[in-house]
Structure formats: structure tokens, C-alpha cells
């Protein structure tokens, strides 16, 4: 990795010790010959994530760790990693291997082909259960109306964009709504959104902390609506 890599990708890791060996090996295989950095954020884990990072990172020179002592949210973990990133483009992907690390390099290629500047690249999830797709479609309609800009599959991964987008960020959210924030601020800054299909795979280890049934989806919808209204109040309603 050079002092100024082409891109930096942040992976927030909360109790993902079991996923780390396969995650790092997948990045190593997909990123051979690519100048990038991988920032693994131990986001207040209570399992053996710190021990696994200490054991594995010496084997992968493109990767390094950032430590968050107490979990303060998904967004806080990502922002902690972004604050240390050197890449000309930056972004994130989840640690649970539901999205292949190879998709990160596809996103980087699309960003380069699109000219890099003023472009946001995001995955568009494929292969999801019908109920999940209906939930996402409904929330996309709500967010489009709420924020005044066309939005879809807000939580699709990976996410990659030119780092210049961050210079105008003010108080980005520390929770799950960071993905919404980047989509809205990119649209209002005149960024073009590029989407590409990414297979949504089954988790290899552990279980989702929220998606365990219909009631969980309803609870998430309530939290999402509340977070969206707070964000609209901060950013101002309406499109750019």
C-alpha cells in the first residue's frame, strides 16, 4: 500500500471474530495488485475480535485496525475509520460477508470509469427474500418523499465515493442512518449515483441483531422514520 492509496475501505466490526479470517483472505484474493487500504474498526466488540485482529493483521500489509473502546453505533464506527483514511476515494462495507469483498473492487473500477470526482457508487442488493424487498421499496418511497431526492436501496453495499464529499459534512449520524446521510448529501452536492448489482449472501457466522422477523422490521421502520425526520430537520427538506 502506498502513502496515498487509490481508495480506503472501512469495515466496522462488532463481535465479528469468526468472520475475520475469511474476510481478510477474500480481500487479499480480490485485491491482488490493487493499491488500497482496508481499515477494520473494532467497534467496541465484546468477543475475541481484538485478539483475532492482533493475530491476523501482520499477515495482510494492506490492512490495519482502529479501536473504538465502547460501541457508539454503526455510523460512529465507520466515521472513526474514515477519520484515519488516506485514500483518494473512501467508503465502507459490512464485516459479515453478506456482500463479497470482491464487490468493493468492482465499485472502485466503476468509480474510476465514471471519472471519480462527484460520483457515489453503491451496491444494489440482489437475491433477497420477498418481504425484505417489499420493506426496502416502502422505505425508499418514504425517504424519497421525506428528503426530496430520489433514493433507493439505501443500505445496499458496498459504498464508495470521492473523499471531497466529506468536507461539507456537518454532524453526520452515529447510527444506522449514516447510509441515508451519504446518499442525501451526495445528491445535494451534485454527485452522480452509480449502482451495480451485488448478491446478498447468507451470513456465515452468527445472526442478525435486527432482522429476525416481522416485528423487528416494524421496529426498524419506526427508528428509521424518526432518524429521517431528525436528519431532514438538520439538513433542510427538499432536493438540491
Q: Determine if residue 206 is left, alpha or beta; phi over 0 gives left, psi from -120 to 50 gives alpha, anything else beta.
A: left
d(CA 147, CA 225): 11
**Cα–Cα distances in angstroms (integers) from residue 80 to residues 6, 60, 137, 168, in the given order:** 19, 21, 30, 17
Find the angle CA(26)-CA(42)-CA(17) to the nearest 5 degrees: 55
For the chain, report the end-to-end CA distance as a whole number of angstroms: 37
- For residue 218, pLDDT beyond 90: no
> Which CATH fold topology does 7-235 show?
Spore Coat Polysaccharide Biosynthesis Protein SpsA; Chain A (3.90.550)
- For residue 219, pLDDT beyond 80: yes
Q: Determine what percent of the chain is predicted with pLDDT higher than 70.
A: 93
Give me the residue label for grid cell 474514515: 82
d(CA 19, CA 205): 7
Lowest-confidence pick of 51-60, 62-71, 166-175, 196-205:
196-205
For the beta carbon of residue 4, count every other beta carbon within 10 angstroms: 10
Helix residue spans in the chain (DSSP H): 20-30, 49-56, 74-82, 102-113, 130-147, 178-188, 214-235
Whether the Cβ atoms of residue 119 and residue 161 lie closer than 8 Å to each other: yes
Whether the Cβ atoms of residue 92 and residue 12 lie closer than 8 Å to each other: yes
The DSSP letter of residue 92 is E
Q: What is the mean pLDDT of residues 198-216?
A: 71
**pLDDT 10s digits, 69-115:** 999 999 999 999 999 999 999 999 999 999 999 999 999 999 999 98
- For residue 240, pLDDT beyond 50: no
Find the angle CA(25)-CA(39)-CA(31) to the nearest 5 degrees: 40
What does the domain layout of the chain look like in residue ranges? 7-235
**pLDDT 10s digits, 129-183:** 998 899 899 999 999 999 999 999 999 999 999 999 999 899 999 999 999 999 9
Amino acid at each position: 500500500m502506498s502513502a496515498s492509496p487509490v481508495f480506503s475501505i472501512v469495515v466496522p466490526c462488532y463481535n465479528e471474530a469468526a468472520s475475520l479470517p475469511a474476510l481478510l483472505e477474500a480481500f487479499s484474493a480480490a485485491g491482488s495488485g490493487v493499491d488500497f487500504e482496508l481499515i477494520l474498526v473494532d467497534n467496541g466488540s465484546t468477543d475475541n475480535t481484538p485478539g483475532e485482529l492482533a493475530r491476523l493483521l501482520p499477515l495482510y500489509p494492506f490492512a490495519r485496525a482502529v479501536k473504538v473502546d465502547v460501541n457508539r453505533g454503526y455510523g460512529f464506527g465507520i466515521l472513526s475509520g474514515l477519520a484515519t483514511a488516506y485514500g483518494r476515494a473512501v467508503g465502507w462495507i459490512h464485516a459479515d460477508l453478506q456482500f463479497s469483498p470482491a464487490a468493493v473492487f468492482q465499485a472502485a473500477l466503476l468509480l474510476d470509469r465514471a471519472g471519480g470526482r462527484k460520483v457515489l457508487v453503491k451496491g444494489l442488493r440482489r437475491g433477497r427474500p420477498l418481504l425484505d424487498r417489499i420493506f426496502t421499496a416502502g422505505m425508499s418511497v418514504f425517504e424519497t418523499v421525506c428528503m426530496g431526492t430520489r433514493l433507493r436501496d439505501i443500505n445496499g453495499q458496498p459504498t464508495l465515493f470521492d473523499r471531497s464529499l466529506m468536507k461539507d459534512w456537518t454532524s453526520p449520524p452515529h447510527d444506522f442512518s449514516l447510509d441515508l446521510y451519504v446518499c442525501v448529501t451526495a445528491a445535494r452536492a451534485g454527485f452522480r449515483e452509480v449502482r451495480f448489482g451485488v448478491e446478498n449472501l447468507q451470513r456465515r457466522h452468527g445472526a442478525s441483531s435486527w432482522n429476525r422477523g416481522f416485528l423487528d422490521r416494524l421496529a426498524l421502520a419506526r427508528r428509521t422514520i424518526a432518524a429521517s425526520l431528525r436528519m431532514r430537520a438538520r439538513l433542510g427538506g427538499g432536493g438540491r
